[in-house]
C-alpha cells in the first residue's frame, strides 16, 4: 500500500468513526482528488439513491475529481453534483446525503457562513482544508460541530 493509499484509507475510516462529521488537512504534495472521489463513491455505493454534493474553490479541481470518479467507477450513475464555493449562498438549502468541501479555508470573509450552512444541510459532511492555518472562527466552529480525522 502506498503512503497516499494509506492516507486515503485513514481519512475514510476516520470519517466513518466520526459518524460522518469530520475534517482533515490535505496539504501539498498530497492532493485531495482521489480522496474526494473515493469518499463520494463510498457514500453512493451504499444506496444508489444517495446524493453527494462537492464544493470546490475552482472549476479545474471539480474536473480532476470527476476524472478520478470516472477512473475508479466508469459509467456510473451516481448522484454527485459539483459547484464552486463562490456559488454557495447561506440563504439557500442544500439537501444532500453527503457534502464534501475542499479548500474553503477561510480566505474569504463569508467562508465560515458557507461552512456553517453546508454543515447544517447534511447528515454527513467532510471538510477538507488545503492550508494548515485556519481562522480562529473556523477553528471554533470545527471544535463544536465536527471531529478532526487523525492520520499517521
What pLDDT is attached to residue 14? 93
Tell me what percent of the residues of the chain surpass a pLDDT of 90: 71
- Is the C-alpha dihedral spanning 88, 126, 141, 131 positive or negative? negative
Residue 88: the pLDDT is: 95
**What is the reported pLDDT for 133?**
82
SS (H, E, C) 26-87: CCCCCCCHHHHHHHHHHHHHHCCCCEEEEEECCHHHHHHHHHHHHHHCCCCCCEEEEEEHHH
Q: List the grid coordinates of 7.
A: 492516507
CA separation for the pair 63, 143 (Å, rounded): 31
pLDDT at 67: 95
Q: Residue 27 pLDDT > 90, yes or no?
A: no
Query: Cα separation of 9 and 119, whole Å?
Result: 23
Total H helices, total E strands in the chain: 5, 6
Could you tell me the pLDDT band of residue 30, with boundaries at 50, 70 and 90?
confident
**pLDDT tens-digit map of 68-93:** 999 999 989 999 999 999 999 999 99
Q: Give me the percent of the chain exceeding a pLDDT of 70.
A: 100
The pLDDT tens digits of the residues spanning 36-56 come to 999 999 999 888 899 999 999
Band of pLDDT at residue 1, cut at 50, 70 and 90:
confident
Whether the CB-CB separation of 107 and 81 falls below 8 Å is answered with no
Amino acid at each position: 500500500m502506498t503512503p497516499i493509499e494509506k492516507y486515503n484509507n485513514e481519512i475514510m475510516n476516520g470519517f466513518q468513526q466520526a459518524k460522518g462529521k469530520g475534517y482533515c488537512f490535505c496539504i501539498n504534495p498530497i492532493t485531495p482528488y482521489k480522496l474526494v472521489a473515493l469518499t463520494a463513491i463510498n457514500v453512493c455505493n451504499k444506496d444508489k439513491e444517495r446524493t453527494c454534493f462537492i464544493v470546490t474553490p475552482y472549476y479545474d479541481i471539480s474536473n480532476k475529481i470527476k476524472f478520478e470518479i470516472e477512473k475508479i467507477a466508469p459509467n456510473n450513475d451516481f448522484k454527485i453534483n459539483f459547484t464552486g464555493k463562490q456559488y454557495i449562498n447561506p440563504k439557500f438549502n442544500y439537501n444532500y446525503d453527503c457534502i464534501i468541501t475542499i479548500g474553503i479555508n477561510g480566505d474569504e470573509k463569508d467562508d465560515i457562513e458557507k461552512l456553517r450552512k453546508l454543515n447544517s444541510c447534511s447528515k454527513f459532511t467532510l471538510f477538507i482544508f488545503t492550508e494548515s492555518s485556519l481562522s480562529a472562527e473556523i477553528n471554533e466552529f470545527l471544535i463544536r460541530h465536527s471531529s478532526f480525522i487523525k492520520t499517521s
